[in-house]
């Protein structure tokens, strides 16, 4: 079923109107009066609607049923990724959205080659959020993950450790696996932190450990920086029963 995202303010009780890009998309799809569509507020609520009127620049809908989204994961997982080179972050945002992440957080670390300045970062952030929105629509999500940019590794640690289960992945860790970490404690929120192409400094890993994060391995092989967060996210979703 065709899915549209609107702002929470546009989710009126009985009638909705699609305008702008949504109206253009509806026109491309050749929606007809009486057809049913799903409209989501991007925060986990959705409603089943029927097209009641089609006019220039807008599509009018009648709300038939309202509910909480059935496609959101029971456990909220945040992906923390140090700035990678090129467009790798775009790939991670798209795929992490499809896999069910509730947010993607980017931050600088000691070995980051890419360090966007404030001017370019504003444009990048807009693009990244659009990628998340597009992926959420395509994959049938009821919520659009927020893309967040933090100014420092310190801020990333501070924010990540607010989760019930906070995990950092380190290629030199040998003893503690992700499975072992996920089997301990009760949690409804999880944060997964990975480094850039060159990995994290040993001192950064030590700081994360002191902050209370679990330090885990992702196996015997070293994964690329864009592979590691998606691998970890998939494993968490499997463990909590989403797959």
Give the CATH number, domain containing residue 146. Answer: 3.40.1280.10
- Predicted local distance difference test score (pLDDT) of residue 69: 86
Which residues in 162-171 are b (16+ Cβ under 10 Å) and which e? ebebbbbbbb
> What pLDDT digit, counting tens, does each position of 46-82 carry?
989 899 988 888 899 999 988 888 889 999 999 999 9
Q: With pLDDT > 90 as the criterion, what percentage of the chain qualifies?
A: 69
State whether 81 and 62 are in the same domain. Answer: no
Domain count, the chain: 2
- Predicted local distance difference test score (pLDDT) of residue 117: 80
State whether 44 and 121 are in the same domain. Answer: no
State whether 9 and 52 are in the same domain. Answer: yes
pTM of the entire predicted model: 0.87
> What pLDDT digit, counting tens, does each position of 166-219 carry?
999 999 999 999 999 999 999 999 999 999 999 999 999 999 999 999 999 999
Spell out the residues 6+ positions from residue 162 whose beta carbon is closer than 8 angstroms to its own.
189, 191
In degrees and rounded to multiples of 5, residue 25 shows phi and psi of -65, -40
Domain that holds residue 55: 3-68
State whether 98 and 217 are in the same domain. Answer: yes
State the CATH number of the domain containing residue 11.
Answer: 2.40.240.20
- Predicted local distance difference test score (pLDDT) of residue 171: 94
State the Cα–Cα distance between residues 50 and 65, nearest whole angstrom: 10
State whether 35 and 83 are in the same domain. Answer: no
State whether 189 and 101 are in the same domain. Answer: yes
State whether 61 and 166 are in the same domain. Answer: no
Cα angle 48, 52, 53; round to 5: 135
- Predicted local distance difference test score (pLDDT) of residue 169: 98
N-term to C-term CA, the chain: 21
Spell out the residues 6+ positions from residue 196 whose beta carbon is closer than 8 angstroms to its own.
82, 83, 84, 85, 109, 111, 112, 113, 114, 225
At 21, the pLDDT band (50, 70, 90 cuts) reads confident
């Amino acid at each position: 079923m065709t899915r549209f995202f609107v702002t929470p303010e546009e989710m009126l009780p009985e009638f909705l109107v699609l305008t702008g890009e949504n109206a253009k998309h509806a026109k491309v799809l050749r929606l007809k009066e009486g057809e049913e569509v799903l409209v989501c507020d991007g925060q986990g609520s959705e409603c089943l609607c029927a097209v009641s009127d089609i006019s220039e620049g807008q599509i009018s809908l009648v709300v038939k049923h309202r509910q909480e989204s059935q496609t959101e994961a029971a456990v909220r997982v945040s992906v923390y990724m140090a700035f990678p080179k090129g467009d790798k972050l775009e790939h991670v945002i798209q795929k992490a959205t499809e896999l069910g992440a509730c947010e993607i957080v980017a931050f600088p670390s000691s070995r980051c080659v890419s360090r966007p300045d404030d001017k370019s970062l504003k444009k990048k952030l807009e693009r990244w959020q659009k990628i998340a929105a597009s992926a959420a629509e395509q994959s049938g999500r009821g919520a659009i993950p927020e893309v967040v940019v933090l100014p420092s590794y310190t801020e990333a640690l501070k924010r990540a450790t607010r989760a019930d289960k906070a995990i950092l992945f380190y290629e030199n860790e040998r003893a503690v696996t992700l499975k072992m970490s996920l089997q301990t404690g009760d949690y409804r929120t999880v944060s997964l932190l990975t480094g850039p192409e060159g990995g994290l400094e040993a001192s950064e890993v030590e700081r994360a450990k002191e902050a209370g994060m679990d330090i885990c391995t992702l196996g015997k092989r070293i994964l690329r920086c864009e592979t590691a967060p998606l691998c970890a996210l998939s494993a968490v979703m499997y463990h909590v029963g989403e797959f």
